[in-house]
């Protein structure tokens, strides 16, 4: 069973394919940490009932401890797109450093005005151009 949070806006279909192509023979855990290393941004368990899911800060360590208790083989994967999640304004600012032009997320950030509010240098640049 693969579990992904909804706040990983840079994910691509091949990121999911890569996780499913990894060797995950039960009992096993494949896990992708959040950017700060405390959360879990992707978790693939075999069997799906190996242990319960945990959420939020500290979930990465909890999942590793659960896997150890279950004597599961653990594979930690690093993937910058999966590690990028959005929990606060600082994360949104970091997200805006990526090319989001062809994404629904980028379109929404622009249309909603969030992009403009979070990029003060854009406002300063617009004022200077006047």
pLDDT digits (tens, 9 = 90+) for 81-115: 999 999 998 999 999 999 998 888 999 999 999 99
Q: What is the model's pLDDT at position 125?
A: 42
Q: What is the mean pLDDT of the segment spanning 53-80?
A: 97
Q: How many CA atoms lie within 13 A of 80 on its CB side?
A: 4
Q: What residue segments make up the domains of the chain, in order of their start?
A: 2-83, 89-129
- Indicate the pLDDT class of residue 6, thresholds 50, 70 and 90: very high
Q: Does 124 score more than 60 pLDDT?
A: no
> Does the pLDDT at position 130 exceed 80?
no
Mean pLDDT of the chain: 90
What was the pLDDT predicted at 123?
45
pLDDT tier, 121 (very low <50, low <70, confident <90, very high otherwise): low
Across the range 30-39, mean pLDDT stands at 96
* Pairing assessment for the beta strands 2-3 and 40-46 based on DSSP bridges: antiparallel
Given pLDDT bands bounded at 50, 70 and 90, which one contains residue 119? confident
Q: Which two tokens stand for residue 100?
A: 């989001």
Compute the average pLDDT of residues 11-24.
Answer: 94
User: For residue 100, what are the contacts with CB-CB under 8 A and spacing of at least 6?
Assistant: 9, 106, 107, 109
Task: Tell me which CATH homologous superfamily contains domain 2-83.
Answer: Spore Coat Polysaccharide Biosynthesis Protein SpsA; Chain A (3.90.550.10)
């Amino acid at each position: 069973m693969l579990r992904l949070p909804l706040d990983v806006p840079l994910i691509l279909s091949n990121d999911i394919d890569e996780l499913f192509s990894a060797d995950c023979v039960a009992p096993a855990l494949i896990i992708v940490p959040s950017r700060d290393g405390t959360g879990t941004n992707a978790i693939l368990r075999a069997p799906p009932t190996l242990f319960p899911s945990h959420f939020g800060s500290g979930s990465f360590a909890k999942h590793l401890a659960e896997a150890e208790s279950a004597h599961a083989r653990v594979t930690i994967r690093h993937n910058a797109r999966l590690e990028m999640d959005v929990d606060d304004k600082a994360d949104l600012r970091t997200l805006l450093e990526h090319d989001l032009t062809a994404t629904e997320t980028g379109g929404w950030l622009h249309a909603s005005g969030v992009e403009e509010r979070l990029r003060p240098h854009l406002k300063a640049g617009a004022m200077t151009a006047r």
